[in-house]
Structure 1
């Protein structure tokens, strides 16, 4: 069986970022843009939802940039209740 040769159009182009980073970057930008559009329409709930999705991809890019190590997250302390002393 003869080998098929690829045409120049199907040539794979290598970039500096791995494919996962490219996808994460693209998804991050897409969700930020969706959030911006929803905020301009006045739907702040939908905008916040899209920003949370964007944050996920931002964390993915950060973790990948640091060798897959998860960065320590700051502890979230509960806010004291109003009128509660002590």
Structure 2
């Protein structure tokens, strides 16, 4: 890249250098909440089956956020 990197590449570089987790891509804009809910629920189930309770709980919390958006009970 040139001296001036694109915004997303710069953001990805900052995430990588900060040690932030990048194993699950952030939810894309414009994707319906139902799709994000199902995506995070699947990730949570996969982590639970793999025995990683902490990561499973993290994904379940993300799924719950989207479920609240779907049902209109966002707190």
Under a length normalisation based on structure 1, what TM-score does the superposition of the two structures give? Answer: 0.48
The 5 Å alignment of 1:67-82 reads 70=73
* 5+ residue gaps, structure 1: 1-19, 64-69, 74-86
**1:59 aligned residue:** 68
The aligned length equals 46
Runs of 4+ with deviation above 4 angstroms: none
**Shift, 1:49, TM fit:** 0.2
**Structure (1/2) with the larger helix percentage:** 2
* 5+ residue gaps, structure 2: 1-29
Structure number, greater radius of gyration: 1
**Shift, 1:23, TM fit:** 1.1
Under a length normalisation based on structure 2, what TM-score does the superposition of the two structures give? Answer: 0.55
Over aligned residue pairs, what C-alpha RMSD do you find?
2.0
